[in-house]
């Protein structure tokens, strides 16, 4: 019995199309995974949040100091920077002095209004500096998370560590 070309290609083509459709449905268009994390080219994962997450906290962004190959670990937990000792402890994890110095300089230059607190968090380590941050309340306190980079750099020579410095109401802590 002789088979026609159509009957031989049909099942293979159908399987290929189904595979493509399944794979296309697995991602999202936000640049991150379904859990809201994204992995930078250096293997570090940085959390991002939607622009207005549940439990969002009003804040004023003081700065996003960043430096290449500065080390550290992404940790969205907001750390109060209310003393020289707190700032020294916060910056001790950074390699070299550039990022630590930038954070210390920005903290020193910040006039913290009455009823507010200055906090910091390491929000990203990767090829890109996030465009901003979001602050939200969790069961453990406050988290400062990086907003997603719209057009991520495909490749970088060394990761960039980004710190967020924000002012929040004292009551938020």
Q: How far apart are CA 32 and CA 43, in angstroms?
A: 14
* Structure tokens, 10: 């049909």
Q: Quick one: which H or E segment has residue 3?
A: none
Tokens 């309340």, residue? Answer: 137
Residue 172 CA: distances (Å) to CA of 49, 96, 143, 164: 18, 32, 11, 17
| Tally of domains in the chain | 1
In a domain, 15, yes or no: no
Tens-digit pLDDT profile for the chain (173 aa)? 555 544 555 555 444 333 443 333 433 333 332 333 333 333 333 333 344 445 899 999 999 999 999 999 999 999 999 999 999 999 999 987 899 999 999 999 999 999 999 999 999 999 999 999 999 999 888 999 999 998 877 788 889 999 999 999 999 88
The domain of 135 spans 37-172
In a domain, 103, yes or no: yes
């Amino acid at each position: 019995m002789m088979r026609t070309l159509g009957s031989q290609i049909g099942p293979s083509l159908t399987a290929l199309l189904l595979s493509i459709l399944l794979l296309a449905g697995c991602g999202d268009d936000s640049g991150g995974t379904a859990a809201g994390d994204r992995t930078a080219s250096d293997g570090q994962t940085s959390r991002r949040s939607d622009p207005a997450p549940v439990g969002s906290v009003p804040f004023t962004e003081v700065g996003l100091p960043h430096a290449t190959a500065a080390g550290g670990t992404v940790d969205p937990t907001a750390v109060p920077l209310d003393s020289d000792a707190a700032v020294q402890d916060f910056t001790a994890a950074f390699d070299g002095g550039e990022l630590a110095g930038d954070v210390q300089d920005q903290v020193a230059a910040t006039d913290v209004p009455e009823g507010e607190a200055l906090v910091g968090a390491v929000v990203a380590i990767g090829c890109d500096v996030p465009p901003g941050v979001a602050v939200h309340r969790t069961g453990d306190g406050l988290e400062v998370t990086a907003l997603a980079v719209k057009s991520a750099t495909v490749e970088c020579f060394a990761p960039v560590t980004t710190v967020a410095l924000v002012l929040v109401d004292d009551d938020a802590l």
